[in-house]
Chain A
Amino acid sequence: MRHVPLLSFAILSVLACDAHAYVDPGTGSYVLQIVIAGLVAGLFAIKTFWLQIVAFFGSHFGRRSPTRRDDG
């Protein structure tokens, strides 16, 4: 656990970005966000893909299709 911050900052130190906002987004917040978003993007892609699969099978083989649910 102690090494997690060190690891993160090792990654953070090579990153950076510009800001175009009237509210100061904060350099640290920008840098950290890019690292975290990079990590969660993969998970999000898998989750989205999975939900599409579930929706596909749900609509083709499920007992109740989304349209029927709307009716009911």
Chain B
Amino acid sequence: MARELVQGSFRDPSGHIFEHNGEIYRQVNRTYRDDYDHLVSSGLYDALVEARLLVEHSEEDVGLGRGANVYKVIKPKRIPFVSYPYEWCFGQLQEAALLTLEVQRRAFEKGMVLKDGSAYNVQFLDGRAVLIDTLSFERYREGEPWVAYRQYCQHFLAPLALMSRTDVRLNQLLRLYIDGVPLDLASTLLPARSKLNPGLLAHVHLHGRAQKRYAGKAVASRRRMSPLAVRGLIDNLAGVTRRLRWKPEGTPWAEYYSETNYTQEGMENKKKTVMGFVDRVQPAIVWDLGANTGVFSRIAAERGAYTVAFDMDPACVERNFRAVRENGEGRVLPLLLDLTNPSPGLGWSNAERMSLVERGPVDLVMALALVHHLAIGNNVPLPEVARFFSTLADALIVEFVDKADSQVQRMLASREDVFPHYTREGFEAAFQPFFATETREAAQGSTRTLYLMRKRSEPAPV
């Protein structure tokens, strides 16, 4: 009976998450009983689940819990891939922000509030942002301000403002600051004219100053905040958040498919080959590395696989996410990831937020038109590329683009060719110890080759 505490849920005294026989459960503590009961009896839980704003759960055997404090054990619907705010594009972070405010608004109507405004309480399920922390609610005490205001501004508003007004890449600050972007830092990085926006002036610039001014000071209180003021604040935050915009263009990869090496016919053939390979593997979960806007991710998704479409270009991920929302695609999750520096384990004990590798391995990795960027663009030796891929998946669809290809020629034009082993033979020799090639197909109309490989249970001798 393996029962393991899941890191990242230890701060909240209301309960914690644990894993038992491969399933994820959440323990609800007795100290949280009244709030949990109110969540259910007020109808708020049902309303939020029906609106797809909160993850659905079932109540399980309380015996699975631990300690005298256990009140209930619930089993939330499983999230196929856990992602983090520093892996989200602008649109995803904005959707998560507006979800948080909408949940708070609806909770308030039922006499409850969200007690934290953490971006880590949101995940993407069936193509939409959803709150996953069922224990985030507490009964509203009249007169109290919104306790999660600081967190909301640090986790959502400040990074969104920075992405929109300064540089979209500043979402990576969330990787440095696990409790959201410090508001004084956001205030320094935002352009001066952002102070002309009353919302950003109040919630970021002045907020940052107020934090500094009152740092470490305890102030006795008689001041109350009316329910109308709480509703007004939430409405105001939603307006400020919704009005922030970012246009996905001008990045190096956003126009990739308009300048690709494949002819229309070649592209159709490549799609057919990939379809055939995916059909052979029949994966449940696929990671498409270097997915661009997700053309090939959709091939896997249409065959029933939950497909995570990683790309390092914020504009590609943004376009992909907008397509997911417009088409209602529940099985494609676009995410931002630089494969040469993938998400590490973060937070307390390096264990609160999982590294990319910890979230695998998966059934199938697709690496199409990617290896030359790793091997030549980033000087990773081919055997090292193969070894890394073997830690991620049981099967691999990989494309080799040789030196005769104009894309590789372009990469080598401005640098010395120090890659004598970068040949098709060298590629196959590098992958052979880790993967067995099941089938290989030359891409028509180019010098590229597509492979379907299966991971060896034991690395073969070189």
Residues of A within 8 A of B (CB): 1, 4-5, 8-9, 12, 15-34, 36-38, 40-45, 47
Contacts and interface: CB of A to CB of B under 8 A. Distances in A.
Interface string B218-243: 11111111101111110110000000
Contact of A30 (B14, B116, B145, B203): B145
Contacts of B201: 4
B233 A37 contact: yes
Given A20-B144, A28-B207, A28-B213, A40 B13 contact: no
9 contacts: A16-B222, A25-B149, A28-B215, A30-B145, A33-B225, A36-B206, A38-B225, A40-B235, A44-B232
Interface residues of B, number: 49
Contacts of A34: 145, 223, 225, 229
Q: Which 8 A-B pairs have the closest CB atoms?
A: A44-B232, A16-B219, A29-B150, A17-B221, A28-B210, A28-B214, A28-B211, A37-B229
A17 B219 contact: yes
Contact of A26 (B150, B205, B225): B150
B430 interface: no
A44 B219 contact: no
Given A22-B115, A23-B151, A47-B235, A41 B226 contact: yes
Contact of A37 (B12, B145, B213): B145
A17 B118 CA distance: 22
B225 A37 contact: yes
Nearest to A45: B228
Contact of A27 (B203, B218, B222): B218
A19 B14 CA distance: 17
B453 to A, nearest CB: 47
B190 to A, nearest CB: 14
Contact of A23 (B147, B153, B229, B236): B147
B195 A1 contact: yes
Nearest to B150: A29
Contacts of A29: 149-150, 153, 207, 210-211
Interface in B1-58: 11-14
B90 interface: no
A39 B207 CA distance: 15
Given A29-B207, A32-B210, A45 B221 contact: no
A15 B210 CA distance: 12
Given A22-B115, A23-B147, A25-B150, A9 B213 contact: yes
B141 interface: yes
Nearest to B141: A20
Contacts of B218: 27
